[in-house]
Amino acid sequence: MKKSNINRRDFIQNSTLMSAGLLLGSASLMSFSSKEDSLHGLNDISYSNKKNRKIGTLEVSAIGLGCMSMAGVYNPPQDKSEMIKVIHKAVDSGVNFFDTAEVYGPYFSEEIVGEALKPYRNQVSIASKFGFDFSGNGRNGRNSRPEHIRTAVEGMLKRLQTDTIDLLYLHRMDPGTPIEDIAGTVKDLIKEGKARNFGLSEVNPETIKRANAIQKVAAVQSEYSMLERVMEHYILPTCEALDIAFVPWGPLCRGMLTGRFGYDYIPEVGFRRAGVPYYTPEALKANLKVTDLAKEWAEKKGTTPTQIALAWLLAQKPYIVPIPGTTNPNHLIENIGSLEVNFSNAELKEIRVALEQIPTIGFRSKEATLENQ
């Protein structure tokens, strides 16, 4: 098969010209099935990829918008006014689920999201995260003691310019505070109307179960993509058993699945990719073969590797809500366009077989998901 010449930079196609709101309302994606899948606890269920998906009490767009990079993680901090325009374009295009955290900046991402979404507050759902101590402008360890959670949430509400947080996550587990105390504090905040739903990020199945016994967990967030599939072993089955939504961060593997990086790519010094083990020269030689697979399918489908990667992720389960981050309005529309990409069960099985045959380097082991990160 010839190599696809469709990439993110050259993305010009009919879906860009279509109403993004219509894109969010279309597409029918199918889940996959194989012997290996059943070992992961993933069943062969066909479903319609409707406009919205459920996260606890929320009905959210099937693709959300991650707002971390707006505060500068893979790039310098962005101009607030320009990021507000990106968020407004997302709302106008049918996106109603926005993900941020106090640690992004710190605080800057929440300030952007709060200002941008204030005119739309009754139309959108905002997720944010607590779990760290701060000294000046720097992070100073983890802290989820009940009194600290309350202080953190008051600051979050002020920056987000709202009186309630739709999805309040524990960002990282504080080893010094029992999860029962954390869940109990969030339960009280929900009773007080300062939060609507409780989420967990980067925790193991046991922590999910213990938290859920105190306060219903609406969502678990962790890295998941065509490349990083370790969540399929223990985390996704736990979510399915407990009726918990799964929100993948890094659904494009920090840009690797967009096709923008070649085998000679060297991560920019000073930004997050530079310290990621799956971006070392040796790892890239192995991992970009998955990107090449996405390019092959993009050629077949007349779309882009980005859209193949997101559509594949959406097709795995109806409770999965990816939150690709971007600061680029064209990339935003491209991401939404993934809802136009359809897979049959046979195609998903073919992709799965191909993925399982590609060795990858630098990702978490199955056993690592049994530990809190």
Query: Residue 358 in contact with residue 289, Cβ under 8 Å?
Result: yes
Where in the sequence numbering do the catalytic residues fall?
Answer: 104
Q: Helix or strand or coil: residue 53?
A: strand
What is the DSSP code string of 160-213? HTSS-BSEEEE-S--TTS-HHHHHHHHHHHHHTTSBS-EEEES--HHHHHHHHH
Q: Helix or strand or coil: residue 248?
A: strand
Query: Residue 260 in contact with residue 7, Cβ under 8 Å?
Result: yes
Distance CA 289, CA 294 (A): 9
List 60's β-bridge partners, or say none: 53
Look at strands 97-99 and 58-61 and give their pairing: unpaired
Buried b / exposed e over 62-99, threshold 16 CB at 10 Å, is bbbbbbbbbbbbbeebbeeeebbebbebbbebbbbbbb
For residue 30, the 8-state DSSP code is B
Radius of gyration of the chain (CA): 19
Distance CA 220, CA 208 (A): 8
